[in-house]
């Protein structure tokens, strides 16, 4: 065989890739730790046939497995590693410090891999925000919300608090950037993603509550801010407050109850069933 032929890429049959993944999954092992014999058995061929089809070694198979997004060494896919790395950077150094080059180093991948996984920095930041923001949880809560207004508000507060308190602390870091540099291009992709989603979910729900006569007819933006801002500010300042001696800090669950009750007292209209009382 000539050197040119030996360097030619081997076209690995898709069946072999699927067999390697099945063999790894059934043994709870990374693909790279599964023997060629086990993969051949899963593929329904002999070991010698498998190796011959792979060009004499399993390197081509490992590359084919990597091409479908699975690292044969057992590492998370590039997309997952990048989201984890970017989130840690945002938490520790701020949004402005997140570049594809820095994320590639921390995620142990190439910048080219990040472009392949996300398309660019903005899309990567949106993926991080999708993972660490409360928006997906809040949308889920509203999709199966209770008919009781107080229960729904309390559920949204709990999900927001959980997201803000989640490590790494991505949301507090992003809010700090938004407050410090609202016009900066570094916060633009997050805000362009966040604001329309919030209006599409929370805004629609509040509009329905207004139309049903359960809350006051107030402009939507101030109403949403009245609902979310007290809890957000408390959570942003909570780490500092906890370090101040003789300043009791209630449990976060109690804080959610306090702010939910305050919001309802401010905007809820009397229920027809119980005149003079909030729903």
Do 150 and 235 fall within a single domain?
yes
Q: Average pLDDT in the 231-248 region? A: 90
Q: How far apart are CA 129 and CA 132, in angstroms?
A: 5
User: Tell me: the pLDDT tens digits for 256-278?
Assistant: 999 999 999 999 998 754 444 44
Q: In the chain, what is the straight-line distance between the N-terminal and C-terminal CA atoms, in Å?
A: 82
Q: Average pLDDT in the 239-260 region? A: 92
What's 58's DSSP letter? S
Do 246 and 140 fall within a single domain?
yes
Do 214 and 257 fall within a single domain?
yes
> What does the chain come to in residues?
279
Q: Which residue has the higher pLDDT, 21 or 188?
A: 21
Q: Is residue 72 part of a domain?
A: no
Which two structure tokens, joined as six digits, stand for 34? 């599964």
Do 138 and 172 fall within a single domain?
yes
Q: Is residue 164 part of a domain?
A: yes
pLDDT of residue 220: 94
Do 139 and 253 fall within a single domain?
yes
Domain containing 158: what range? 133-267
Do 57 and 86 fall within a single domain?
no
Domain-terminating residue out of 26, 46, 67: 67
User: Tell me: the pLDDT tens digits for 35-84?
Assistant: 999 999 999 999 999 999 998 888 899 888 888 878 888 777 788 889 99
Do 142 and 254 fall within a single domain?
yes
Radius of gyration of the chain (CA): 26
Do 98 and 202 fall within a single domain?
no
* Alpha-carbon distances, residue 55 vs 88, 94, 257 (angstroms): 41, 48, 65
CA torsion sign for 99, 103, 109, 115 is: negative
User: Tell me: the pLDDT tens digits for 123-148?
Assistant: 999 899 989 989 989 998 899 887 89
Bridge partner residues of 215 (DSSP): 268
Residue 27 pLDDT > 80, yes or no? yes
Which two structure tokens, joined as six digits, stand for 279? 């729903």
Look up the CATH number of the domain holding residue 118.
1.10.10.60
Number of domains in the chain: 3
Q: pTM here?
A: 0.70
Do 137 and 257 fall within a single domain?
yes
Q: Is the peptide bond before 240 cis (omega within 30 degrees of 0)?
A: no
Q: Is residue 276 part of a domain?
A: no
Q: Is residue 230 part of a domain?
A: yes
Look up the CATH number of the domain holding residue 229.
1.10.357
User: Tell me: the pLDDT tens digits for 148-193?
Assistant: 999 999 999 999 999 998 899 999 998 888 888 888 887 887 788 8
Q: How far apart are CA 49 and CA 169, in angstroms?
A: 51
**Residue written as token pair 């040119």:** 4
Do 98 and 184 fall within a single domain?
no
Q: How far apart are CA 95 and CA 2, in angstroms?
A: 52
Residue 246 pLDDT > 60, yes or no? yes
Do 104 and 144 fall within a single domain?
no
Bridge partner residues of 268 (DSSP): 215
Do 138 and 224 fall within a single domain?
yes
Residue 4 pLDDT > 60, yes or no? no
């Amino acid at each position: 065989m000539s050197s040119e032929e030996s360097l030619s890429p081997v076209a690995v049959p898709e069946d072999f890739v699927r067999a390697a993944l099945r063999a790894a999954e059934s043994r709870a092992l990374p693909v790279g730790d599964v023997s060629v014999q086990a993969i051949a058995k899963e593929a329904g061929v002999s070991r010698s046939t498998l190796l011959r089809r792979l060009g004499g070694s399993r390197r081509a198979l490992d590359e084919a497995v990597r091409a479908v997004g699975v690292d044969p060494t057992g590492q998370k896919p590039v997309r997952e590693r990048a989201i984890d790395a970017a989130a840690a950077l945002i938490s520790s150094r701020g949004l402005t410090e997140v570049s594809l080059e820095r994320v590639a180093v921390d995620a142990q991948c190439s910048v080219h891999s990040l472009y392949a996984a996300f398309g660019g920095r903005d899309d990567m930041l949106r993926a991080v925000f999708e993972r660490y923001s409360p928006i997906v949880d809040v949308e889920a809560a509203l999709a199966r919300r209770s008919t009781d207004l107080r229960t729904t508000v309390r559920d949204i507060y709990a999900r927001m608090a959980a997201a803000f308190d989640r490590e790494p602390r991505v949301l507090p870091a992003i809010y700090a950037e938004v407050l410090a540099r609202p016009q900066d291009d570094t916060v633009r992709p997050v805000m362009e993603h966040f604001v329309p989603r919030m209006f599409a979910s929370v805004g629609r729900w509040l509009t329905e509550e207004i139309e049903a006569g359960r809350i006051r007819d107030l402009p939507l933006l101030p109403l949403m801010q009245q609902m979310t801002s007290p809890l957000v500010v408390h959570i942003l300042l909570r780490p500092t407050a906890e370090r101040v001696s003789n300043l009791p800090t209630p449990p976060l669950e109690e804080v959610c109850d306090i702010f939910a009750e305050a919001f309802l007292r401010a905007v809820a209209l009397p229920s027809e069933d119980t005149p003079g009382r909030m729903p």
